[in-house]
Each structure stands twice: as structure tokens, then as C-alpha cells.
Amino acid sequence: MSDAFAPSAKPWQVSIEPNISSGYFEAERSRLFKHVWFQLGRVEVIPNPGDYFVRQIDVLGASVIVSRGRDGVLRAFHNICRHRGNRVVKQAAGSAKAFSCGFHGWTYNSEGALVNIPLEQEFRGCDKADLSLIPLAIEVWEGFIFVHLNIEPEESLRDYLQPVAGLLDGFPFAEMELSGWWSARLASNWKTFQDAFIEAYHVLAVHRRSIPDFRSDPIVPTAQSLGRHCKLTYYQNLHHEPKPAEAMAFELSSLAFLNAGDANELKTRRWASLNFERRDNWVFDEFVIFPNFHLFLGDGWMLCHEFWPVDVDHTDWHVKYYQQRTTSPTVRIAQEYSKVAMRDAIREDLSTIESTHAAQRSGAMPFMTLSPSLDALIIHHHGVVAEYVGARLTGIEP
Ligand code: FES
Ligand SMILES: [Fe+2]
């Protein structure tokens, strides 16, 4: 089971160097990112044979095709033509009987097999069976598609995800539908970007407009380490005074974002691994699945953040917001309110990222001063990265 972070008497000082050093980023590239499972999306995106999507994993220079074959099986391939290496698929997603390279027309079926070489007689001795698209390891956990750049990963996905997989096996993810999505490329190191989403300390200042009375009853979320992963359990101010539109949404449905009332009615709240302290003012749990996938689970909603390093100074970010399927018009109204509230909160979250990275980049300040409770998961995440890289989290006061 997980260990709660023990409080420390002294502030923790974490070096800024790993956030701005090209050498550290290169070490992350070779020692970390080549050895982890990456979450790429939900199986519902490609339900039918021939459906596919393509994702870039810039940190490894990879373009990945995830395809559902005619046999219904999901496969992942490098998006590289076996002739001279052109990208076989240019579209971000679609449905196709075959993938035909736009350079000279080599054609692959949705299982990745090379099925046609124009003027094949000119490639005497070349066996198409040896020239399938190059596969990646792919596994699915609870509808989430993960790939590993190594076709024979050091660990199975399940082992890699533990203990998170065990905590959420059987969770009704498929009962939710995609409701909103946003993405951006920001001038920030990937860790600095993620740091803004693994603590609630910022709510007091960054979200002072959207969640104004959090301050009246500040509650420290409960942080837990889960091996290389970790988790935050968030609580709401039960004396929160909703604004008029918010009050209407709360009235219409207990599924409205940040509605802390009606504590035990919904099945998400009863899910054993969520709200593990069984507090009335629980609002959501956030699972930080190493290295770059954050899964927020609330009542009738989930938020999936992905942080994709591009280089030491840039990160691509995608977030998808899902809500419980419903046919109730009143619940839909509450959900629409929630989507806008979530969007506004995320916009506020993004407002500090680039300026923080630029300031760290100046080199004027050698370390961050972190709270062992409020910033616990930042310390944890940087520590796990350092472990992969083989570095020490320099400057920490024990
Ligand atoms: S590079 Fe694809 S057919 Fe030539
Ligand atoms: Fe936030």
C-alpha cells in the first residue's frame, strides 16, 4: 500500500538545474523516456476495424500509429515506411483499409503488413514479409491505450502501473464520454509544467476568482506516494458560497464540478480507493501516472492531462474532460456549467507556467523552496525522475 508523506521540520530545497539543463534533458531522454509506458488515449477513439490515430512522441523523435486491425486487435507501429523512411500516415486520425506511403506508394494493411510494392520486380530478392511496419509494445488497461518504445519492455504494463492499476481496476471509465479538450505548446520544461498540476497550494492565489472562498477554509490535500506514481486527494470548503450560476448547477445535479454536497450518494464516492479518508468534503482524487499522465477522478467526471516534453524548454500539453453519460436535460445543464468552470480554472492554471520557467531559466535562483506537505508530490515526482536519470535531487535538506 501507499505511504503518506511524512512531514519534515525543514523546508525542502530542490535544485532548479534539472528544469533548465540540456544535459539533464538528454539524460531524461535516454534513461527515462525510453523505459516507460506512455498513455496515448482511450480505446473508444478507434472502435472499428481500420480506425487509427497517430501521435508524436517528440522527446524520442517518434511518430506512432495506433491501428485497430481487421481482426479487431489494437497494434502500434512506428510511422516509418520501410522503403526509405517517409512518414506513411500524414493524417492525425481516420479509418482506412490500408496505409499507402505518399512517396512511392508502398502500401501496408491495418495490421502493419506490407501488401504492395509498385514495380515489385525491381526489388528482386526482397521479401515483403520481412518489411512490415516496425511494431511497438502496446497494452490496454481499463480502456487506456499505452505504448512502450521497446517492443520487449522491461515490465508489463500492469507491473509498471502498480499499485495504481489495482486501486482502479474495474472503475467505470467507459460510462463517461468526452466533453471538452484543450491543448497548447508552452515554453516550459515538462516538469515545471506538471508541478503546477500536482499541488493545491496555488488555489489560494491562482484560482482566487474562480474558487474565491477556498481561502476561508484551507485544506491541505492528502498526498500519497504509489511507487513511481503518486496521488492527491482534494477536499472542498464545505462552507463554499456558490455564485448564482454555480448554485443553479449544484441545484440541478450533484455531478456539478466542485459540488461537495450530497457526499455519499454517488458510486464514484463509494469507489473504495477514492476518498479513502471518507471525508464529506471530498471532491476528487488525482492519480499522477509516471511520467506524464495525470488522471483526475471526481463524481461523474474525469480529467486526463498529458504533458509531452519537446525539448528542455518546451512542452506539448493535452487535456481531455469527460463527463458521465446522461439523457437528463437538467444534468446536461449542470455539466455544461461544469465544463466552462473547468475550462476557466485550467486557463488560470496555465497563466503561471511560462513565466515560472523563464524566471528559472535566468539562473538567478539555484533552488526552489518546497513545503514537504503542500508540495509533496513535486518532491516525489522530481525524485523519481532523478532516480531514473541516476542523479541526486541536489540541495535537499533532509
Ligand atoms: S519512402 Fe515510402 S514508398 Fe518510398
Ligand atoms: Fe489549479
pLDDT for the residue numbered 299: 85
Ligand 2 centroid, distance to 345 Cα (angstroms):
6
Ligand 1 pocket mutation, candidates 88, 103, 131, criterion most atoms within 8 A of CB: 103
Note the pTM of the prediction, 2 decimals.
0.92
| Position in ligand 1 atom list of the atom nearest CA 104 | 3
Q: How far is the CA of 295 from the centre of ligand 2 (A)?
A: 14
The residues spanned by each domain of the chain are 38-152, 171-389
Overall average pLDDT of the 315-322 stretch:
97
The correct CATH number of 171-389 out of 3.20.20.105, 3.90.380.10, 3.20.20.140, 2.40.50.840 is 3.90.380.10
pLDDT in tens, 366-377: 899 998 888 999
pLDDT > 70 fraction of the chain, expressed in percent and rounded: 91
The residues with which 137 forms a beta bridge, in sequence order, are 148
In a 10 Å sphere around its CB, with 0-12 CB exposed, 13-18 middle and 19+ buried, how is residue 35 labelled?
Answer: middle
E strands within the chain? 3-4, 12-15, 38-42, 51-57, 62-68, 74-78, 93-95, 98-100, 107-109, 114-116, 135-141, 144-148, 176-186, 222-226, 229-235, 282-289, 293-298, 301-311, 314-324, 367-370
Estimate to the nearest angstrom the gap between the alpha carbon of 226 and the chain centroid.
16
**Closest ligand 1 atom, residue 106 Cα:** 3
**How far does residue 128's CA lie from ligand 1's centre (Å)?**
14
The tens digit of pLDDT for each residue in 123-150 reads 999 999 999 999 999 999 999 999 999 9
38-152 is a CATH 2.102.10.10 domain: yes
Summarised one tens digit per residue, pLDDT across range 158-208 is: 999 999 999 999 999 999 999 999 999 999 999 999 999 999 889 888 988
Ligand 2 centre to CA of 241 (Å) is 19
- Residue whose Cα lies nearest atom 4 of ligand 1: it is 104
| The three three-digit cell numbers of residue 167, written as one number | 486501486
Band of residue 258 on the pLDDT scale cut at 50, 70, 90: confident
